[in-house]
Amino acid sequence: MRPLSEAEIEQLDQFLLYSEAEDSMTLDMLDGYLHALAVGPARPRPTRWMPRIWSEDATDMMPPARDAAEARRMVGLVTRLYDSIVAGLEDEQGAAISPLWSSFEDRGVERDDAQIWAAGFLAGVDLCLQEWQPLLDTQEGQAWMRPLRLLGEEELEPREQALRATAAAREKLTLEIPEAVLSMHAYWDASRRAALEGVDETGDEVGKPPAEPGTRGSTRPRPAPRRH
């Protein structure tokens, strides 16, 4: 598995923006979507999650493209992007993510803005909502989802809308996302290990205990944010 090069990221970005897949996700939305699939409790088959990239109503894994070769290439780039996210989370040196969200210039200041990325992450959660529900029902899960929900949801109460009303406010929420995503990964990773290793007679997990939430992993240096 080779991570996407800068040129391949740009190629995928341009395809999503300007190809015949008019209703497709943008690159930052796609990246958030794939992070949710990689982090979550179950990693569904591509036949389930790939069509939604091209359109909410699509059923075909292959995107509308000029020809079959271009369609296969785009599916290959998406697959490698997903695989690289999974590889980062499973790195023996510690889980890490390299999110591809946008940046904007705000009065001469470059600010990260994960609003579209967060919408993609929420779409990935929604695809597997039943599996995610045990975490979403906990206080810690709701706390981790808070910056993603405040940025990514379309309909919020006026009080919540005010929390993302400015570029500085959106950047503040954006900077909370990496730790929240890695904490959710640690939660589901511990859950998977418990399922594999079993529990002892007291109900305690057998084997290595999970790390404390929020302490695992890091945000790796990522390609320069996409400017808009």
Which CATH architecture group holds 6-227?
Answer: Up-down Bundle (1.20)
227 — pLDDT class (breaks 50, 70, 90): very low
List, for residues 197-213, the tens digit of each pLDDT value: 764 433 433 333 334 44
Q: Where are the domains of the chain?
A: 6-227
SS3 sequence of the chain: CCCCCHHHHHHHHHHHHHCCCCCCCCHHHHHHHHHHHHHCCCCCCHHHHCHHHHCCCCCCCCCCCCCHHHHHHHHHHHHHHHHHHHHHHCCCCCCEECCCCEEEEECCEEEEECHHHHHHHHHHHHHCHHHHHHHHCCHHHHHHHHHHHHHHCCCCCHHHHHHHCCHHHHHHHHCCHHHHHHHHHHHHHHHHHHHHHCECCCCCECCCCCCCCCCCCEECCCCCCEEC
Model confidence at 214: pLDDT above 60: no
Instruction: Find the angle CA(195)-CA(35)-CA(37) to the nearest 5 degrees.
Output: 50
Q: Using one digit for the tens of pLDDT, what is the confidence trace for 139-171?
A: 999 999 999 999 999 999 999 999 999 999 999
> Does 128 score more than 60 pLDDT?
yes
